[in-house]
Amino acid sequence: MKKPAAVVVIGLILLVIVLIALSTGVSLFLGQTPVVSSDKVALVKIEGVILDADDTIDQLRKYSKNPSIKAIVLRINSPGGAVVPSQEIYEEIMKIRAQGSQKIVVSMGAVAASGGYYIASAADKIVANPGTLTGSIGVIMELASIQQLLEKIGVKSETIKAGARKDVGDFMRTMTPDEKEYLQTVTDNIHAQFVDAVAEGRKMKKEDVWKLADGSVYTGKEAKDLHLVDELGDQEDAVRLAGRLAKIAGEPKVVTEEKKTTIWDIVKGKDVNSLFKGALPQNLQTLMYLYAVPAIR
């Protein structure tokens, strides 16, 4: 007489349970309980002109709250960008460093200059390729004037304002000497903030940073000699360094979030930068931590 199917199934389940229990018991007895490491390194990419900080900060916060993420590698391939997004990303990195639970290592690509270096300076360690272009510790504000063109075609601009400096930088007219002096003061103030940030992040003396803060760009090899970066190497080297700093045994497992640009992102203006690969004109009245990368032909 055949046993009912249900009895057979129950018997098989009990057999599996017994085998698992025996296997676990033997492992415990021999002191060889397998330990599966869940420690990982997160990879966050910053590419192109930096116009917005939201996506980068969202990723940093997500990974900082994940207990399995022991270190973060920031891959920077950027000539810089707007001042405030650069500062916001810098501050987020400094907050994670202050928590002390994760290490942050920067891997520099072809270029990590100006705002790109501003962000990098907040990391625990910076790894650059020997030919990386970095540094460019400075600020730029570019303003255009079409007054002479308007005069040639017989067009005159009229402005109604409340406040003597409300239309400073208006491209319809040439700036006055007083206005240039005023904007220079603003730019100098932002420049000093850049120097302060590098000095704090890199643990350098301000006077030493000021010596390098004339907007000059350096190769990765030069930057290492100047203490602006810590090691020479590629992204893989940066991942291994992050693993060592975080005391991860063996080869670190890397996790990353691939960003896909949607039509809706472009319509909202949120991801125009990635659409044009960072080749965007500067807003006329936007202060920029930006280095113009020369073409190598």
Catalytic residues: 114, 166
138: nearest Cα among 228, 33, 213: 213
Q: Please report the sign of the dihedral spanned by the C-alpha atoms of residue 148, residue 154, residue 157, residue 158.
A: positive
Question: Is-contact 68 40, C-beta < 8 A?
Answer: yes
Distance, in Å, from the CA atom of 41 to the CA atom of 19, rounded to the nearest integer, reads: 36
- Name 128's bridge partners: 108, 232
Q: How many Å apart are CA 220 and CA 234, to the nearest integer?
A: 11
